[in-house]
Each structure stands twice: as structure tokens, then as C-alpha cells.
């Protein structure tokens, strides 16, 4: 009988991991806590840097999972991982030969950064809200008008000691550039300003897109972090920052303020780590055995990692890890590592 591998999480990493395991002759079982496959990518509209619709990634994966007869259980929350056994919230125990954690990460809750007024006053949105509005074709201010001026703030809930999130979330810079272009396409007359501390354009085509945003779409980039936002009588939002390149405080009122929220570690990581013995990194993400040849191995034998469960990553990187992890699981199960 083929060996059973539990894949925790049915996002893109989990699905790709299961597909790769299946093609290597194992019997993967996907445990997904929500009611559907696809994870966070399923909520996204277009993907950077190519503006590819997100469903071009999720739909083929979901279809392949079905066509390959991969076992999927939805609405299953894992509460404990022991060696070769996973325990669900219902108390059910599932025996297995290895576990791959593909449980991803959590979007930063922007209400914690109270100074930006998210959830307190109108016209403050997160990057995830904008994706949702684009999916529903209803991007507009709270009063339903077309925005004339939009500010996009980078690094919300990342690189911030005050909210205990020291890491860089990696994908929000390019998302800020992508959304600036998308908003400009929707509202050609709008002025768009991205406020940043550093611009991190590490991937292929990212720097090019940044340049395109500046030249072809006239997006303004201001080097300074918005320090606070306050509501105006007319419902607009006033923001303050230092324009650090001129060394002067800057003030501006905008119709929309969009916060580029980061990826933080799942709260569940704490008990998944303590039950399994796989260690966490100081930022709460799962720790890879090392950053090089063993990056998909946790610190515990038999427990593997793929996707953003170990650090913020792009979709491409997550999918690469998913393919790699299947081979490492195979090595482990066939040769005892």
C-alpha cells in the first residue's frame, strides 16, 4: 500500500505538494480548514508582475486535484501533529507516514495600526480590500465616487517593531506598484502616490514594472512613511508624512488611503510547533532546517514545509517549494533520509 502523507492546507502550495506527491506514487491527503480549496490566492484579482488573473493559477490546480483523485477534506482544523499522526479539532486521529505543512500565513490586521484609522473612518482600505473590490468591479470611495487622489502606503504591519513584526513581507512592494497601475487604469485622472521606506523589487520584471509605473502611469513615489491619517469633514482622509528626500513634513488629503498589509505567522503555528517539535523562527513562522539545500525541511524529521508557512513568498516560489518538498518526502520515506 502506498504511503500516506498528510498535507496541511489546501492553498496553492498544498495542492501542488499533493499533486507532486501523487505523481511520485504516494497517497496525499489534503486537510483544509476552510470550506474551499485555493487559499489566499483565490481572493486575489490579478497577479504581479504580469497581471495574470489569479484563477489561472487556482482553477487548473483545483481541477488537477480532482482529476487525480486526491483525497481532500474540507472544514478540517488540525490541532496537533505528533510523529506520524495528525489530530483534528473533532478529536479524530489520522495516521500517516509524513506531514507537509502548507498552512500558509495570515494577513496583518490593519486595525492594530490605529493611527491609520482602518475600520474607524471611511476611505481607508487594505490591499486585500482593493483586490476584493476589483473582483466585484466596485472600486470606489465610501460615497460611491471615483477617487481623484489615492495614497498607497507600503510596509503596514511589516518591518515594524511596534506591532512585533520585524520581517519584510516581500510581496507588498510589488503589490503596491501593481495596484497603483490598476487604479490608474481604472481612474486615469486620479493622482496616485506611493509612500515607501524602501522599494524592494527583487523578482524578474518587478523593477521594470516599477519604472513603467513611474514613466507610463505617472505614479508618484514619496520616500517617507505616513505617520498618521485623520478624517476630514468631507469624508476624505488627511495624511502626514515626512518627504524625507526634501527633509520637510508633507501633508495631503486623499480620497482613498490603501494600506499594503503584510504577511504574519499564523497563530496556530504555536501549537502546531509545540505538539510536533518542529521549531519556529523568532518571527513565528516555521523554521527551515537551513536556508539552502534543506529549506523545505522543518527542524523535526518527518515534518516538511512548503509555501508561506516558513516565510513570506511569491506564488512562484511557493509552487517551486511544493514540487521540491514532494521529492524530499520521497527521499525520506523511501530511504529513511
Partner 1 sequence: MATNFGFSISKPRVIDVDTNNLKKSNEILAALPELQSCIGCGSCTASCTAGNLTSYNFRKVHTLVRRGEYAGAYEEMNKCMLCGKCRLLCPRGINTRRVVMLIKKCLGDF
Where do contacts with partner 1 occur on this chain (CB under 8 A)?
115, 155, 159-162, 197-198, 223-228, 240-244, 247-250
Find the binder of ligand SF4 among 22, 113, 200, 287 (CB under 6 A): 200
Q: Applying CB under 6 A, which part among 20-28, 151-159, 230-238, 298-306 lies near ligand SF4?
A: 151-159
**N residues, the chain:** 337
Q: Does 178 bind ligand SF4 (CB under 6 A)?
A: no
On whether the CB atoms of residues 182 and 134 are closer than 8 A, the answer is yes
Residue 83 binding target from partner 1, ligand SF4, none, CB below 5 to 8 Å by type: none
C-alpha cell of 134?
A: 476589483
Residue 169 binding target from partner 1, ligand SF4, none, CB below 5 to 8 Å by type: ligand SF4
Sign of CA dihedral 283, 286, 290, 292: negative
Give exposure, 125-159, as e/b (b: 16+ Cβ within 10 Å).
bbbbbbbbebbeeebebeeeeebebbbbbbbbbbb
Q: Does 154 bind ligand SF4 (CB under 6 A)?
A: yes
Find the binder of ligand SF4 among 149, 170, 178, 328 (CB under 6 A): 170
Q: Applying CB under 6 A, which part among 115-123, 155-163, 211-219, 286-294 lies near ligand SF4?
A: 155-163
**What would the DSSP string read from start to end of 58-118?**
HHHHHHHHHHTT-EEEES--EEEEETTEEEETTS-EEE-SEEEE----EE--GGGSGGG-T
Q: Does 169 bind ligand SF4 (CB under 6 A)?
A: yes
Q: Does 158 bind ligand SF4 (CB under 6 A)?
A: yes
Which spans in the chain are helix H?
A: 12-23, 55-67, 127-135, 172-186, 206-215, 269-276, 315-335
Q: In which order are the strands placed within the sheet that holds 303-305? A: 71-74, 27-32, 4-8, 98-101, 303-305
Q: Does 172 bind ligand SF4 (CB under 6 A)?
A: yes
Q: Does 82 bind ligand SF4 (CB under 6 A)?
A: no
Residue 248: CB minimum distance to partner 1, A: 8
Q: Does 165 bind ligand SF4 (CB under 6 A)?
A: no
In the complex with partner 1, which residue's Cβ is closer, 8 or 259?
259
Q: Which residues bind ligand SF4 (CB under 6 A)?
A: 154-155, 158-159, 168-170, 172-173, 198, 200, 260, 262
Amino acid at each position: 500500500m502506498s504511503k500516506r502523507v498528510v498535507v496541511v492546507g489546501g492553498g496553492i502550495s498544498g495542492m501542488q505538494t499533493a499533486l507532486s506527491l501523487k505523481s511520485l506514487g504516494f497517497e496525499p491527503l489534503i486537510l483544509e480548514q476552510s470550506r474551499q480549496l485555493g487559499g489566499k490566492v483565490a481572493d486575489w484579482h490579478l497577479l504581479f508582475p504580469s497581471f495574470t488573473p489569479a484563477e489561472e493559477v487556482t482553477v487548473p490546480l483545483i481541477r488537477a486535484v480532482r482529476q487525480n483523485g486526491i483525497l481532500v477534506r474540507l472544514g478540517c482544523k488540525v490541532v496537533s501533529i505528533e510523529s506520524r499522526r495528525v489530530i483534528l479539532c473533532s478529536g479524530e486521529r489520522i495516521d500517516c507516514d509524513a506531514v507537509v505543512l502548507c498552512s500558509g500565513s495570515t494577513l496583518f490586521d490593519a486595525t492594530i495600526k490605529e493611527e491609520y484609522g482602518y475600520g474607524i473612518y471611511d476611505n481607508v482600505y487594505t490591499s486585500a480590500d482593493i483586490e476584493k473590490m476589483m473582483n466585484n468591479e466596485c472600486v470606489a470611495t465610501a460615497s460611491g465616487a471615483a477617487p481623484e487622489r489615492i495614497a498607497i502606503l507600503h510596509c503596514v504591519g511589516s518591518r515594524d517593531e511596534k506591532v512585533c513584526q520585524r520581517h519584510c513581507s516581500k510581496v507588498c512592494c510589488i503589490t503596491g506598484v501593481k495596484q497603483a497601475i490598476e487604479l490608474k487604469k481604472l481612474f486615469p485622472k486620479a493622482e496616485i502616490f506611493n509612500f515607501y521606506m524602501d522599494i524592494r523589487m527583487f523578482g524578474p520584471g518587478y523593477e521594470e514594472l516599477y519604472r513603467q509605473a513611474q514613466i507610463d502611469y505617472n505614479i508618484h513615489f514619496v520616500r517617507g512613511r505616513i505617520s498618521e491619517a485623520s478624517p476630514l469633514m468631507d469624508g476624505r482622509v488627511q495624511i502626514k508624512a515626512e518627504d524625507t528626500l526634501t527633509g520637510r513634513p508633507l501633508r495631503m488629503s486623499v480620497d482613498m488611503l490603501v494600506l499594503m498589509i503584510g504577511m504574519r505567522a499564523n497563530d496556530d503555528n504555536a501549537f502546531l510547533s509545540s505538539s510536533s517539535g518542529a521549531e519556529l523562527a523568532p518571527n513565528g513562522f516555521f523554521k527551515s532546517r537551513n536556508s539552502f539545500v534543506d529549506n523545505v525541511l522543518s527542524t523535526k524529521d518527518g515534518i516538511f514545509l512548503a509555501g508561506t508557512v516558513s516565510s513570506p513568498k511569491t506564488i512562484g516560489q511557493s509552487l517551486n517549494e511544493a514540487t521540491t518538498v514532494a521529492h524530499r518526502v520521497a527521499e525520506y520515506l523511501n530511504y529513511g533520509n
